[in-house]
Amino acid sequence: MKYNNKFYAVPANNATLLLYYNKDLFKAAGLDPNKPPSTWDEWMDAIRKTTKTNGSDKQYGIALADHATIPMWPILVWGNGGNFVSDDNKSSRMTDPKTQEAIKTWSDLVIAGGVSPTNLTGAEADKLFQSGKAAMEMNGPWATGGYTQAGLNYDVAPIPAGPAGKVTLASTVALVAGKNTKNKDAVYEFMKFWVSKDAQAQLSGQTGFPPVRTDLGDDPKLKQNPFVPKFADVANDAKYYLPGLEQYDKIDSDVIVPAIQAITNKKASVDAALKDADKKLNDILQGKN
């Protein structure tokens, strides 16, 4: 909500991503449905075991979306200690060894292991998981209602920890008032109401989103929804994707997504794709593009 160290907005919501997993598909693969993977090694093993690449009964270990969705690949990069942009937002980290290693590890799993279709949108990944054709998916609290209503036997768990430790994605929507608004006082009153304890407790209990406040842990309204504490528990492990960058959309759509798709579609090697992306990203960050 900050730009140049000044606040310009308040959060309308704050969401984290968890690992959704199909308990029936886990059981069928010989995995304990009450013990989801907690490390990358366990996760990759579970993904492989729940993948069926032959015959008409095709099944994927994970639905890994790469565009038109809440970013999922960044979680994998962060989990290995990599990133796309430097902490000061001035230079690319696309060719950082940790970034390259993460993308190679997971793209190899997709390409050689066939564990996920390529070029999935978020909606397509959701459909694959909800139809029982994918055993796992990374998703936010907004998905719980539809999956529960569909009768899916699933649960959620923290994203398994990578070599660099536990991490997940944080996603938020901002409430902002334009500087020329004629209703500044009314907007301010609404913002105060929206982030009040009562409003946040009610909204969180009904939607499954963690509250944007940190002082509602014992509010009984939150206990209406069993998923709320699970998404809230990982808030301290969550990171924002490309925060503070005015050209966020351009970097995502013109640099990062095409690089990952070029790799998973076998149009370029990891090294070549990330070198090309590195140049494009540095040009954007330096105002050349």
Residue extents of the structural domains in the chain: 2-13+171-238
Q: Does domain 2-13+171-238 have CATH number 3.40.190.10?
A: yes
The pLDDT of residue 122 is 97
pTM of the model: 0.94
Phi, psi of 240 (to 5 degrees): -90, 150
- Nearest-10 Cα torsion for 66, 70, 72, 73: 60
Distance CA(100)–CA(180), nearest Å, equals 45
Closest to 137 in 3D by CA, of 123, 150, 119, 151: 123
The pLDDT of residue 189 is 97
The pLDDT of residue 4 is 82
The pLDDT of residue 131 is 96
Inter-residue long-range contacts of 261-266, CB under 8 Å, 24+ positions, other chains counted: 261/66, 261/67, 261/118, 261/119, 263/103, 263/107, 264/66, 264/107, 264/110, 264/111, 264/118, 264/119, 265/118, 265/119, 266/111
Closest to 24 in 3D by CA, of 130, 110, 125, 122: 130
Structure tokens that stand for 213 in this block? 């406040």
| Residue-by-residue pLDDT tens, the chain, 289 positions | 887 888 899 999 999 999 999 999 999 999 999 999 999 999 999 999 999 988 778 999 999 999 999 999 999 999 999 999 999 999 999 999 999 999 999 999 999 999 999 999 999 999 999 999 999 999 999 999 899 999 999 999 999 999 999 999 999 999 999 989 999 999 999 999 999 999 999 998 888 888 998 888 778 888 788 899 899 899 899 999 999 898 999 999 999 999 999 999 999 999 999 999 999 999 999 998 8
The pLDDT of residue 55 is 74
Distance CA(271)–CA(263), nearest Å, equals 9
- Residue 90 is which amino acid? K
CA dihedral for 285, 286, 287, 289, sign (positive or negative): negative
The pLDDT of residue 5 is 86
Structure tokens that stand for 80 in this block? 């290995």
